[in-house]
């Protein structure tokens, strides 16, 4: 199944995604009426949009605790199609994003709720299948009770502590790395700059968002044969402010392991390459933790810079701004990313009578009415619409406004020194890109909304 768009849900340090095709509306959490003899994952019933829905706790379905329904960030997601009688209780709704195929890694594992891994900005998002997630619910889960002096004493069920690992393959053997040290996963088909005199396992340097990162072939380091395929991936890991890329054969899964199933090596073993083993049903998986990664970095430390050293060599992030670059009548313009809520495929807006001429109409985004402002009318240019047209949804002071553009071409960081002001009411700055060879006009979104035309 190809996923087009996801809603990202945050839970502590982990991020999950659900296809927006499965989501009807997002609600603040109303009163939840408990159900007797319910599975522990079922929190109760609520009335949503005039219908009664069964409330399922996503954290408990994933085995990572319980959602605090009283937290201001908690939300209920009403669902569509065969799951429309249910609603998901989640800790925090982050944003919706359109899937870019080059950033998604599908996982072919029928019995796992995680069906893909997606890289969005600095987030690693685990995309969930609702079918697989709901299959985890037991029909009835009656809490055990003990009798003390003719009174029933309920046993409290304590969630067992666990850790989450990314499982990957090298030469047909499975290995795992603690996901806490994993920053992102990228395709291995990239350009490397060789490092003269480096060790055999060092492939070279890559540039990732203006950072230079040393990439090590983990297969060579472990003495395995190298298999080149389109499944090869680079795991970007950071330990003690040092970042290194680890090339592996392929990604297999992301999985929780109880602490009781995590066994560390004894003193008689060489801990420089393996920290221990994970007991996974009827097999064992060797895993790496921060000590192994530190040893790997130490062996190659003369070729690996610290994060602070890398930042001193590239753009100063504190002085850089991030922009979305888009096209109108084949010319490029820019919006500041901080004011952009999401980007969606273009849809025909519904006309609204007695509105300003620069308003094309309104659209419905997951139950929220969003006005569409015409940049074409404001700038006095011809409107061109095709399959690449997008709507950039911005948010200013809590209000959302959409702008139709011909296409979105890039998202990039620009140093403050490359942003030059100009005397124009709406196009407030010029971005000097590619060492000044390319100029892009920056639009002031608030002035665009207030403008009465040019």
What is the CATH number that goes with domain 162-313? 2.40.50.180
Angle in degrees, CA 269, 272, 278, rounded to 5: 65
By CB neighbour count within 10 A (0-12 exposed, 13-18 middle, 19+ buried), where does 13 fall?
exposed
Q: Is the pLDDT of residue 246 over 90?
A: yes
* Mean pLDDT on 323-327: 88
* Mean pLDDT on 389-404: 86
Residue 447: predicted pLDDT: 80
User: At 142, is the pLDDT very low, low, confident or very high (cuts 50, 70, 90)?
Assistant: very low
Q: Is the pLDDT of residue 22 over 60?
A: yes
What separation in angstroms does the CA of 220 have from each of 132, 200, 216, 217? 37, 7, 8, 6
Contact criterion met (CB below 8 Å) for 6 and 96 = yes
266, two tokens: 């004894």
For residue 294, give the 3-state DSSP assignment.
helix
Distance, CA of 24 to CA of 75 (rounded, Å): 13
User: At 220, is the pLDDT very low, low, confident or very high (cuts 50, 70, 90)?
Assistant: very high
Distance, CA of 212 to CA of 225 (rounded, Å): 27
Q: For the segment 51-89, what is each residue's pLDDT rounded down to a tens digit?
A: 777 889 998 888 888 899 988 888 999 998 888 888 999
Q: So where are the chain's domains?
A: 5-138, 162-313, 317-450
290, two tokens: 């921060």
Average per-residue pLDDT for the chain? 81
147, two tokens: 């009798």
* Mean pLDDT on 5-13: 86
CATH topology of domain 5-138: OB fold (Dihydrolipoamide Acetyltransferase, E2P) (2.40.50)
- Position with higher pLDDT, 139 vs 305: 305
| % of the chain at pLDDT higher than 70 | 84
E strands along 195-316, which residues?
202-208, 211-217, 233-239, 242-248, 250-258, 262-264, 276-280, 283-288
Quickly count: other Cβ atoms within 10 Å of residue 367's Cβ: 11
Distance, CA of 111 to CA of 114 (rounded, Å): 9
Dump the DSSP string for 80-108. Answer: -GGGTTEEEEES-EEEEEEPPGGGEEE--
Q: Is the pLDDT of residue 219 over 90?
A: yes
Residue 126: predicted pLDDT: 92
Q: Where does 47-136 have alpha helices with state H?
A: 58-62, 130-134
Where do we find the tokens 């960030």?
A: 73
User: At 112, is the pLDDT very low, low, confident or very high (cuts 50, 70, 90)?
Assistant: confident
What separation in angstroms does the CA of 241 have from each of 213, 295, 304, 306, 310? 12, 14, 11, 6, 10
Contact criterion met (CB below 8 Å) for 321 and 416 = yes
Q: For the segment 188-205, what is each residue's pLDDT rounded down to a tens digit?
A: 888 888 776 778 899 988
- Position with higher pLDDT, 318 vs 368: 368
Q: Look up residue 304 and give its DSSP letter.
A: -
| % of the chain at pLDDT higher than 90 | 16
Maximum Cα–Cα distance for the chain, whole Å?
84
Q: Is the pLDDT of residue 218 over 90?
A: yes
Residue 216: predicted pLDDT: 92
Per-residue burial over 142-176, b = 16 or more CB atoms within 10 Å of its CB, e = otherwise: eeeeeeeeeeeeeeeeeeeebbbbbbbbbeeebbb
Where do we find the tokens 């609600």?
A: 27
Distance, CA of 255 to CA of 163 (rounded, Å): 8
Residue 143: predicted pLDDT: 39
Contact criterion met (CB below 8 Å) for 96 and 342 = yes
5-138 shares its CATH topology with 317-450: yes
Residue 451: predicted pLDDT: 59
Distance, CA of 156 to CA of 158 (rounded, Å): 6
Distance, CA of 177 to CA of 235 (rounded, Å): 10
From the centroid of its chain, how far is CA 364? 24
Q: For the segment 256-300, what is each residue's pLDDT rounded down to a tens digit?
A: 888 899 988 765 455 568 888 999 888 899 998 888 888 888 877
Residue 248: predicted pLDDT: 94
Residue 278: predicted pLDDT: 92
User: At 305, is the pLDDT very low, low, confident or very high (cuts 50, 70, 90)?
Assistant: low
Q: Look up residue 295 and give its DSSP letter.
A: H
Residue 385: predicted pLDDT: 64
Cα atoms found within 13 Å of the Cα of residue 304, Cβ hemisphere only:
27
What is the CATH number that goes with domain 317-450? 2.40.50.180
* Mean pLDDT on 389-398: 85
Quickly count: other Cβ atoms within 10 Å of residue 239's Cβ: 17
Q: Is the pLDDT of residue 307 over 50?
A: no
- Supply φ then ψ for residue 75, to 5 degrees: -140, 160
């Amino acid at each position: 199944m190809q996923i087009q768009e996801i809603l990202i849900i945050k839970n502590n340090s982990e991020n999950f995604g659900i296809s927006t095709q499965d989501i009807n509306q997002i609600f603040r959490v109303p009163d939840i009426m408990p159900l007797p003899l319910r599975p522990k994952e079922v929190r109760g019933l609520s009335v949503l949009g005039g219908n009664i829905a069964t409330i399922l706790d996503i954290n408990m379905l994933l085995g990572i605790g319980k959602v605090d329904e009283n937290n201001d960030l908690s939300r209920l997601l009403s669902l569509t199609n065969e799951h429309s009688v249910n609603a998901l209780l989640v800790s925090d709704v982050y944003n919706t994003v359109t899937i870019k195929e080059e950033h998604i890694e599908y996982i072919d594992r029928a019995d796992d709720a995680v069906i893909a891994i997606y890289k969005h900005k600095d987030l690693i998002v685990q995309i969930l299948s609702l079918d697989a997630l709901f299959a985890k619910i037991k029909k009835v889960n009656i809490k055990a009770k003990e009798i003390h002096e003719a009174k029933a004493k309920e046993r409290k069920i304590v969630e067992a502590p666990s850790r989450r690992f990314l499982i990957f393959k090298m030469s047909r053997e499975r290995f795992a790395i603690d996901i806490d040290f994993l920053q992102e996963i990228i395709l291995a088909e990239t350009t490397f700059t060789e490092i003269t005199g480096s060790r055999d396992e060092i492939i070279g340097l890559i540039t990732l968002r203006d950072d230079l990162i040393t990439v090590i072939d983990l297969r060579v380091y472990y003495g395995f044969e190298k298999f080149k395929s389109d499944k090869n991936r680079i795991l970007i890991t950071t330990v003690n402010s040092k970042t290194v890329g680890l090339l592996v054969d392929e990604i297999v899964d992301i999985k929780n392991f109880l602490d009781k199933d995590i066994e560390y090596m004894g003193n008689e073993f060489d801990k420089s390459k393996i920290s221990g083993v994970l007991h996974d049903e009827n097999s064992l998986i060797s895993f790496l933790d921060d000590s192994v990664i530190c040893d790997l970095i130490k062996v190659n430390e003369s070729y690996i810079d610290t994060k602070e050293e890398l930042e001193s060599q590239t753009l100063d992030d504190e002085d850089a701004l991030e922009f979305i670059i888009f096209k109108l009548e084949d010319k490029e313009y820019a919006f500041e990313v901080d004011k952009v809520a999401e980007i969606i495929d273009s849809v025909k807006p519904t006309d609204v009578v007695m509105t300003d001429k620069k308003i094309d109409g309104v659209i419905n985004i997951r139950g929220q009415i969003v006005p569409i402002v015409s940049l074409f009318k404001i700038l006095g240019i011809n409107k061109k619409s095709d399959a690449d047209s997008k709507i950039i949804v911005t948010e200013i002071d809590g209000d959302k406004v959409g702008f139709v553009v011909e296409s979105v071409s890039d998202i990039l960081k620009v140093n403050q020194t490359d942003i030059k002001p100009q005397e124009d009411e709406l196009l407030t700055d010029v971005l000097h890109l590619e060492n000044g060879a390319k100029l892009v006009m920056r639009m002031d979104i608030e002035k665009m909304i207030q403008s009465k035309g040019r």
